[in-house]
Structure 1
C-alpha cells in the first residue's frame, strides 16, 4: 500500500504557513530560492461540509505524489499547503491572505464550493495569483473571476441545461426545482423555466431551500410546496447536507417521482448521508464514471487510488484531473516559473496539443472555462453508483 506523502496534519500546515509569511518574498513569487513548487489551498477539512473537500484534496494528492515520486517537475517537488477554514468565509479570506502574503505561492488550487471561492477570488485577482480549479461552477464565479480564474469542471448553466434536457426527454414534463435562497437561486428558476419550455416540459414549482440548518418543520413546509404541484421529477440544487435532508423528508412522504441532485452535493458524500434512502436518486457528475469504463483518465485514477489504499469517487477523480492539468501548465511554464508564465502556459492547453486521457480540456486566452462534460448516475440499493 502506497502512503501519500503530502498529507501532514492541518496544524503543521498552519505553522508552516506562518513561517513562510515571515520569509521575505522573492522578486518573482513562486520561482526563486526554492526547489519546490508551492501551491496554496483553504478548505473545510473539519465539520459537516468536509467530506467533499477532503475527497477532492485526496484525489489531487494522488497525482501530485506520483509526480513527486518521479522527480517532480523540472526537478522541483510540488507542495500543497492546505489550511482548514471550516467553511467559514471569514477564515477563507484570512487563510488566503496569509498564503498570498508568504510571497512564495505560485498558485491557489482546488478551493471547494461557491461561497469559499467567491471569498478568496478577489484576493487572488488583486495579487495576480492564478486561482485554479475551484470545485464550483456558479455563474457568479465566472462573472467576477477575471484572468486569474481557471476552471476544469462544467459550469452551472451547462449542468442545468444537460439535466433538464434529459429529464424532458424522458417524458418527465412536470418538474419542481429546489434552489438556494439567493440571487443565483432565483435566476436558476427563470433559466429552468426557459430551458424546460424549449425541451417540451414545464417548471411547475420553484421553491427556495431553508439551507443546511433547516428545522424539521421547515423541511416539511418545503416538501409541501414541492409536492403541491404534483411534479414527475424534483431537481435539488444544494450542498450535501441540505440535499440529503430534503431527500429524506420526501422519502418519508412517500414521493414516488424521480429525484435529481446536482453535482455540488457530491456523489459519495450524498450516498453516505442517505444510506438506504438514497436508492434511485440520480446525481449529475462533471467527470467520467470513476468505478469502471474505458476512459483512460478514470482507469489511471482507479489504479492510483488502489495503490494508495483509497476508494474512488467522482469528487476524487475531479481533484485528480485538476492536478494533472495544472502539472501540465507547470511543465510548460519552464524551469523558472512565475505566476504570469503559468497563466500563459495554462492558456495554451487544449485538445489539439494535450490529451488528459479521454477528458476534454480547452483553455485559451479568451476562455478559461476548461470543460463542458456532464453526465448522470444513480445510487443503487447498495449505496453504489450505476451509470
Structure 2
C-alpha cells in the first residue's frame, strides 16, 4: 500500500488521523471521495452527478454544516475504465484520507470499487449505477443505493411498451453496452418477459463496445430481422445512445426508443436536438427522480440551490439525482449525531423510515434493503427537446 503522507507536511492536504480520530473527520469537516470519468462516453454524467452532490453540500454548509462540520467532496478520474478505478480509489483513500465514498459512477467500475471499499469497511454510498454488483442479497453492510436497479427500470420499460404502447413481445429488442451494464439491462428485460408469462429466449440483443460509437454491427442486425422491430430498450450512455438513434431513425421511422436513466437524459436531448427535431420523436427515458420540468418541492428547492451555487447551470436529471442522494446521506449524518464513525452511520442509515424528501415517494432503508427508492418515473422528449412526464402504467 502507498505510504501515508507525513503528518505536518504542508504539501499534504490531509494529515492521517491520530489515534482515536476517525479518518476523514475533523472538528471542522467531513471528507467524501467520488470516482467519476473526466473523459470518455460518460463524462457529462459524472460531472452532472458531482454538481448535484456539491449543490447539496453547499446548501448544508451554508446552514452551518452538519454538527458544525462542513462537507467536502473530492473527485478522482477513472475515465469510465475499470482498469483505472483502483488507482483512483487508492488516491482518495491513501492520499486524500476520505471518510467514505459517495456517488461513484459506473457499473463495470463498481466491480472494482466495491471490493476495495468492503475490504476497508468504508461507506460506499449512492453509486450512479443500477447494477447488481451494488445490490447483493442480503446487502453488503457498507453499500447503500438511492436509485432503482437496472432490472426495475427495464421491467418498467417493458411493461410500458407491452401495456401502454401495445407492442408485441417479438417486436421489442434490447440495445446495450457489451459488458456488465448491458448484461443487467438485458436481464431486466428478460425478467419482465418471464413475469408477463412470455418466452425470453428469443429476444433480439444488439451490442456496442464501451467508450465506442461504432454502431454498424447493431444496425446491420436490426435490418436483418424478419419480424420488424418496433421498440428498443436501450442500456447505454449518452453518445452511443444518440449515435444509435441517429443511425436508425430514418430506417425505422416509427421506432420507440426507451432509455435507462443512466443515459443522461439532458445530454441525450442536446445531442438529438443538434441532429434535428425528428430525432427526438418517441424517445423515452425512465428516471430515478421526478420530472425536472415539474413542480415537486424537491425540484423547486434544487433549482433555487443550484442557481445560488452554480449560476447559469441548467438543472438536469442526473444533477437532481446527485442532490437527492446527497441529501439522503446528509439526513443520516444529522441523525447520527456529533460522534460520527462508519459503523454508527451505517446503523443510522438502516433506520431510515418513510423519509419524505418531496419526491412523491418515501425513502426507506433497512438492514435487509439498502436501496432507498423502488419507484421509476417516465419521461418522453417533445419536439423542443424538453422531457414531459408520462404514465408508465
TM-score, scaled to structure 1? 0.87
For 2:46, what is the secondary structure of its paired residue? helix
Structure 2 match to 1:108: 101
Structure 1 match to 2:303: 302
Structure 1 residues 246-261: aligned runs within 5 Å: 246-261=244-259
**2:370 aligned with 1:368, yes or no?**
yes
Worse-matched range after superposition: 243-252 or 59-68 = 243-252
Structure 2 match to 1:377: 379
Distance change in 2, residues 1:270/1:122 (3 Å): same
Aligned-residue RMSD, C-alpha: 2.6
**2:70 aligned with 1:65, yes or no?**
no
Q: How far apart are 1:216 and its partner, in Å?
A: 5.2
Structure 2 match to 1:337: 340
Distance change in 2, residues 1:60/1:228 (3 Å): farther
For 2:232, what is the secondary structure of its paired residue? strand
Q: How far apart are 1:248 and its partner, in Å?
A: 1.0
Distance change in 2, residues 1:27/1:93 (3 Å): farther
Structure 1 match to 2:357: 356
Number of aligned residue pairs: give it: 368
Distance change in 2, residues 1:242/1:228 (3 Å): farther
Distance in 1 of aligned mates of 2:183 and 2:228: 21
TM-score, scaled to structure 2? 0.86
**2:142 aligned with 1:148, yes or no?**
yes
Structure 1 match to 2:220: 221
Q: Give CA deviations for 1:319-372 in whole Å, capped at 9, x if unaligned.
A: 000110111111122112111111111111120xx3222342110122111101
Structure 2 match to 1:322: 325
Distance in 1 of aligned mates of 2:25 and 2:50: 26
Q: How far apart are 1:375 and its partner, in Å?
A: 1.4
Distance in 2 of aligned mates of 1:336 and 1:106: 13
Structure 1 match to 2:266: 268
For 2:33, what is the secondary structure of its paired residue? strand
Which sections of structure 1, spanning at least 5 residues, go unmatched? 1-15
Distance in 1 of aligned mates of 2:261 and 2:147: 10
Q: How far apart are 1:44 and its partner, in Å?
A: 1.0
For 1:196, what is the secondary structure of its paired residue? helix
Which sections of structure 2, spanning at least 5 residues, go unmatched? 1-8
Q: How far apart are 1:141 and its partner, in Å?
A: 2.5
Structure 2 match to 1:280: 282
**2:84 aligned with 1:119, yes or no?**
no
Asked if the contact 1:24/1:103 (under 8 Å) is kept, the reply is no
Q: Give CA deviations for 1:89-113 in whole Å, capped at 9, x if unaligned.
A: 2322111122222484221000111
Asked if the contact 1:290/1:301 (under 8 Å) is kept, the reply is no
Asked if the contact 1:30/1:105 (under 8 Å) is kept, the reply is yes
Q: Which of 161, 164, 182 pairs up with 1:167?
A: 161
Structure 1 match to 2:6: none
Q: How far apart are 1:281 and its partner, in Å?
A: 0.6
Worse-matched range after superposition: 177-186 or 87-96 = 177-186
For 1:40, what is the secondary structure of its paired residue? strand
Asked if the contact 2:284/2:378 (under 8 Å) is kept, the reply is yes
Structure with the higher fraction of residues in helix conformation: 1
Distance in 1 of aligned mates of 2:104 and 2:184: 24
